[in-house]
C-alpha cells in the first residue's frame, strides 16, 4: 500500500437546494359552508366561497364568516342534482375599477340549462353584491342532469374561459365532446371587456370558418372538466377532467396555445380507447400529462387545482396541487428539466368530498370540502428553514438540528450521525437533518474532490485525457467493475457507463456534458465497495 499526502478541495454549491419530499398539512379555517363548490378572490385578502344552492359567502383572512351572503341567487339556481347548482365564480381582472364578477350556474327545471351571468358589487357595501345587476351572457340547455362542468377563470390574456361538461349520461351518447357545433365537452373563450355582452376573440382557433362551428370554442374533447386553473405566473392552464369508469386525467395547455386542443373524449378515456367510432388516430388528440387509475386509490372525480405561487412555503413553489373527490389524496405535479411531468403524493387526507383547490390574492392555497362544509388552508407540513452544509476543506458542518444522517453520492454513510463530518473520499455530500415534527429535510449538496489518495492501491484508476473533451478513458478498473457513474456537483447522476465483464478499461462519451468538474464512482458486482475520483470536462 502506498501513502501519499492527502489534499482536499471542497466546493459549496450555490443553488443546489434540498429535494426533500414535500408533505402538506390542512389547517381548518372556517366551518358551516354547506356544499362548497368554488373559491375565488377579488384582488384583496377576502375569500369568496360559492355554495351549491346559490349563495356566495365571504371569509375574512382570520377565518371569520360574514353573516350576510355576498350574493344570494338561490331562487334562480337548480341544485336538485349532485352536479347541478352554483358551480363557478370569477372576478374581473379590473374588479377594483368596475366591480364586475361572473358566475356559472344551472338554472330552470331539470335537467336545466347552464348559465353564465355577470353581476356587479353594490355601490354602498363592498361585501354585498347587487342581485338586480345580473346580465345573462350565455346559456345552453343540458340534455342530462350530470356533467355540467362549471368552472370559469380569467387567463393572463384578460379573457374569460368557461368549462362545459359533455352534457351527461354515460359515455357521451350524443358525442357532444367531439361536436364543435355546441359548447358541451368544450372550453369556450370569450372577451367580456366591453360595457355589455361578450365578443369572440379574433385569435380563437375556429374564428372565420363560416360554418356552424361555434367560434367561441377554444378546446374540446373533454368529459367533465369540473375544476381547472391557470398558473398565475406562466399563464399555463391545468384541467382536471373527470373520467368514466377507469381513469382520471390532468390536462395541460401551455400559455399562448390557441391551436384548439382536442383532448380525445369520447374516443379515449385518458390514454385508453373508449369508443373509436368515427375517431381519428390517437396522436391526433392531446394526451393528458398524468393519469390516475380509479381502482388503485378509489378515485372517482379529479379536482384540478392551482400552482403554488405564494411566499409562505418556498418548498411548494411551482408545484401544481390537486386532489380527488372520492380518494382524498393530494398530489403535486411539476415539469422537470427534461420536460417530463413528475407527480408525487403529498397528503393522504383520509377525507372524501374535496371539491375545489384555489388561491387567494397572495397565491396561498386553500381547499374546500363539499361534504363537510369546511374550508382549509393548505400548508407545508415542514415549513422550517432548510438545513445547510458548509465546507472548510474536508470538514463538513451542518446547521443545527435534532439529528443528522450524512450521505455520500446518495448513499447513507453508516455511523455518520454528528453535526460535523470529516470527508475522506471524493464525492457529493449532503445531510438529512431531523428538524422535529416528523420533518426530515435534506440540505444543499457539497462536492469534495480529493487531489491525493491515502492508502490507495498501486493499481489505481487512471483517466485521460486531462481535461477530457469528447471521450474520457478509464484504465486500471477492478476486474469486478460493472459500471461507472458520473455525478455533477448537485449530486445528480448525469451518465452511467457500463463496463464489460472482466474488463479493466471503459470509455465515456462526455462530449455532450457541460464544462466542469464531475465525480466518478466505480460500482462493482457486490456494490459493497466503490472507488471514487474526480474528472474535469473542458470542450
Tell me, what CATH number does 487's domain have? Answer: 2.60.40.3080
Q: Are residues 96 and 151 in the same domain?
A: yes
Name the nearest CA neighbour of 54 among 31, 30, 32, 80.
80
In a domain, 454, yes or no: no
Q: Are residues 70 and 147 in the same domain?
A: yes
User: pLDDT tens across 373-387, in order?
Assistant: 999 999 999 999 999
Q: Are residues 271 and 390 in the same domain?
A: no
Average pLDDT over residues 335-345: 93
In a domain, 7, yes or no: no
Q: Are residues 37 and 171 in the same domain?
A: yes
List of residues 6+ apart from 95 with CB closer than 8 A: 42, 43, 101, 121
pLDDT of residue 528: 58
Residue 127 CA to residue 92 CA, distance in Å, equals 16
426 cis-preceded (ω within 30 degrees of 0): no
Name the nearest CA neighbour of 153 among 251, 87, 241, 54.
87
Residue 15 CA to residue 12 CA, distance in Å, equals 10
Exposed, middle or buried by CB within 10 Å (0-12, 13-18, 19+), for 527? exposed
User: What distances in angstroms separate CA 405 from CA 15, 21, 402, 412, 435, one per listed residue?
Assistant: 21, 16, 11, 7, 12
Q: How many residues does the chain have?
A: 539
Q: Are residues 103 and 45 in the same domain?
A: yes
User: pLDDT tens across 204-234, in order?
Assistant: 999 999 899 999 999 999 999 999 999 999 9
Give the sign of the dihedral formed by CA 220, CA 223, CA 224, CA 225.
negative
pLDDT of residue 137: 98
Which grid cell sits at 80?
Answer: 336538485
Which grid cell sits at 302?
Answer: 379529479
pLDDT of residue 489: 64
- Which of 353, 380, 407 delimits the end of a domain? 380
Exposed, middle or buried by CB within 10 Å (0-12, 13-18, 19+), for 359? buried
| Residues 185, 165 contacting (CB under 8 angstroms) | yes
User: pLDDT tens across 23-51, in order?
Assistant: 999 999 999 999 999 999 999 999 999 99
In a domain, 357, yes or no: yes
Residue 121 CA to residue 71 CA, distance in Å, equals 9
Residue 123 above 90 pLDDT? yes
Residue 28 CA to residue 45 CA, distance in Å, equals 17
User: What distances in angstroms separate CA 200 from CA 121, 186, 289, one per listed residue?
Assistant: 25, 15, 29
525 confidence band (pLDDT: 50, 70, 90): confident
**3-state secondary structure string across 406-459:** EEECCEECCCCCCCEEECCCCEEEEEEEECCCCCEEECCCEEEEECCCCCECCC
| Residues 304, 323 contacting (CB under 8 angstroms) | no
Residue 457 above 70 pLDDT? no
Q: Are residues 302 and 406 in the same domain?
A: no
Question: Please, how many CA atoms are within 13 Å of residue 253, restricted to the half-sphere of its CB?
Answer: 22
Question: Please, how many CA atoms are within 13 Å of residue 458, restricted to the half-sphere of its CB?
Answer: 1
In a domain, 393, yes or no: yes
Mean pLDDT of the chain: 92
Q: Are residues 164 and 210 in the same domain?
A: yes
**Domain span at 35:** 24-380
User: pLDDT tens across 53-63, in order?
Assistant: 999 999 999 99
Tally of CB atoms within 10 A around 436: 12
Q: What is the DSSP string of 309-370?
A: --SS-GGGTT-EEEEETTT-EEEEEEE-TTS-EEEEEEEE-----EEEEEE-TTS-EEEEET
Q: Are residues 229 and 351 in the same domain?
A: yes
Question: Hey, what long-range contacts does 70-73 have (CB within 8 A, 24 or more apart)?
Answer: 70/127, 70/128, 70/129, 71/103, 71/119, 71/129, 71/131, 72/131, 73/103, 73/105, 73/131, 73/134
Q: Are residues 50 and 131 in the same domain?
A: yes
In a domain, 3, yes or no: no
Strands 272-273 and 411-412: unpaired
pLDDT of residue 527: 61
Degrees to nearest 5, angle at CA 207 with 204 and 212: 125
Residue 16 above 70 pLDDT? no
**3-state secondary structure string across 398-413:** ECCCCEEEEEECCEEC
| Residues 322, 250 contacting (CB under 8 angstroms) | yes
Torsion, Cα 372 377 380 381, to 10 degrees, reads -50
- DSSP label of 186: S
| Domain at 411, CATH number | 2.60.40.10
Q: Are residues 332 and 232 in the same domain?
A: yes
In a domain, 335, yes or no: yes
| Domain at 302, CATH number | 2.120.10.30
pLDDT of residue 455: 41
Please indicate whether residue 474 or residue 493 has the higher confidence score (pLDDT). 474
Hey, which of 242-251, 433-442, 475-484 has the most confident mean pLDDT?
Answer: 242-251
Residue 9 above 80 pLDDT? no
Q: Are residues 508 and 484 in the same domain?
A: yes
3-state helix, strand, coil in the chain (%, to 5): 5, 45, 55
Residue 411 above 90 pLDDT? no
- Where is average pLDDT lowest: 111-115, 291-295, 458-462, 517-521? 458-462
Secondary structure element (H or E) that encloses residue 98, with its range = helix 95-98
- Number of compact structural domains in the chain: 3
In a domain, 452, yes or no: no
Q: Are residues 320 and 177 in the same domain?
A: yes
Secondary structure element (H or E) that encloses residue 107, with its range = strand 100-107
Which grid cell sits at 2?
Answer: 502506498
Residue 452 CA to residue 266 CA, distance in Å, equals 65
- Which of 446, 478, 498 delimits the end of a domain? 446
352 cis-preceded (ω within 30 degrees of 0): no
| Residues 495, 508 contacting (CB under 8 angstroms) | yes
In a domain, 161, yes or no: yes
pLDDT of residue 537: 84
Residue 335 CA to residue 315 CA, distance in Å, equals 15
Amino acid at each position: 500500500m502506498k501513502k501519499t499526502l492527502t489534499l482536499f478541495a471542497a466546493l459549496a454549491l450555490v443553488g443546489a437546494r434540498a429535494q426533500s419530499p414535500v408533505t402538506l398539512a390542512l389547517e381548518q379555517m372556517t366551518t358551516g359552508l354547506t356544499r362548497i363548490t368554488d373559491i375565488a378572490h377579488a384582488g384583496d385578502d377576502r375569500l369568496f366561497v360559492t355554495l351549491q344552492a346559490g349563495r356566495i359567502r365571504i371569509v375574512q383572512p382570520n377565518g371569520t364568516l360574514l353573516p350576510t351572503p355576498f350574493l344570494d341567487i338561490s331562487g334562480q339556481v337548480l341544485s336538485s342534482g349532485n352536479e347541478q347548482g352554483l358551480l363557478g365564480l370569477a372576478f374581473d381582472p379590473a374588479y377594483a375599477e368596475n366591480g364586475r364578477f361572473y358566475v356559472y350556474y344551472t338554472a330552470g327545471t331539470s335537467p336545466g340549462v347552464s348559465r353564465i351571468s355577470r353581476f356587479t358589487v353594490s355601490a354602498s357595501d363592498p361585501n354585498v353584491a347587487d342581485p338586480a345587476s345580473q346580465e345573462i351572457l350565455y346559456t345552453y340547455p343540458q340534455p342530462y342532469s350530470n356533467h355540467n362542468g362549471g368552472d370559469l377563470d380569467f387567463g393572463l390574456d384578460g379573457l374569460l374561459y368557461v368549462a362545459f361538461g359533455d352534457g351527461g349520461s354515460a359515455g357521451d351518447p350524443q358525442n357532444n365532446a367531439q361536436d364543435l357545433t355546441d359548447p358541451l365537452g368544450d372550453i369556450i373563450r370569450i372577451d367580456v371587456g366591453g360595457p355589455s355582452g361578450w365578443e369572440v376573440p379574433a385569435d380563437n382557433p375556429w374564428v372565420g370558418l363560416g360554418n356552424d362551428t361555434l367560434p367561441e370554442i377554444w378546446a374540446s374533447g373533454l368529459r367533465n372538466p369540473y375544476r381547472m386553473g391557470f398558473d398565475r405566473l406562466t399563464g399555463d392552464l391545468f384541467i382536471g377532467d373527470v373520467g368514466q369508469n377507469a381513469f382520471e386525467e390532468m390536462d395541460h395547455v401551455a400559455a399562448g396555445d390557441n391551436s384548439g386542443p382536442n383532448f380525445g373524449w369520447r374516443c379515449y378515456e385518458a390514454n385508453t380507447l373508449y369508443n373509436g367510432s368515427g375517431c381519428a388516430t390517437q396522436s391526433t388528440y392531446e394526451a393528458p400529462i398524468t393519469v390516475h387509475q380509479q381502482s388503485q386509490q378509489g378515485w372517482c372525480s379529479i379536482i384540478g387545482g392551482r400552482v403554488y405561487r405564494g411566499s409562505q412555503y418556498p418548498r411548494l413553489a411551482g408545484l401544481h396541487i390537486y386532489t380527488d373527490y372520492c380518494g382524498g389524496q393530494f398530489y403535486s405535479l411539476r415539469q422537470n428539466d427534461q420536460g417530463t411531468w413528475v407527480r408525487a403524493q403529498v397528503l393522504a387526507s383520509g377525507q372524501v368530498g374535496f371539491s375545489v383547490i384555489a388561491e387567494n390574492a397572495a397565491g396561498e392555497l386553500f381547499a374546500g370540502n363539499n361534504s363537510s362544509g369546511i374550508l382549509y388552508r393548505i400548508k407545508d407540513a415542514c415549513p422550517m428553514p432548510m438545513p445547510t452544509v458548509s465546507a472548510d476543506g474536508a470538514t463538513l458542518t451542518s446547521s443545527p438540528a435534532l439529528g443528522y444522517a450524512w450521505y455520500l453520492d446518495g448513499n447513507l454513510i453508516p455511523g455518520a450521525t454528528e453535526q460535523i463530518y470529516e470527508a475522506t473520499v471524493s464525492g457529493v455530500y449532503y445531510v438529512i437533518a431531523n428538524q422535529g415534527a416528523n420533518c426530515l429535510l435534506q440540505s444543499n449538496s457539497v462536492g469534495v474532490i480529493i487531489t491525493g489518495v491515502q492508502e490507495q492501491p498501486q493499481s489505481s484508476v487512471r483517466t485521460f485525457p486531462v481535461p477530457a473533451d469528447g471521450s474520457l478513458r478509464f484504465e486500471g478498473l477492478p476486474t469486478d467493475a460493472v459500471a461507472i457513474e458520473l455525478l455533477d456537483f448537485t449530486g445528480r447522476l448525469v451518465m452511467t457507463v457500463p463496463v464489460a465483464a472482466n474488463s479493466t478499461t471503459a470509455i465515456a462519451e462526455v462530449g455532450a456534458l457541460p464544462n466542469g468538474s464531475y465525480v466518478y464512482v466505480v460500482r462493482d458486482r457486490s456494490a459493497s465497495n466503490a472507488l471514487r475520483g474526480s474528472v474535469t470536462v473542458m470542450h
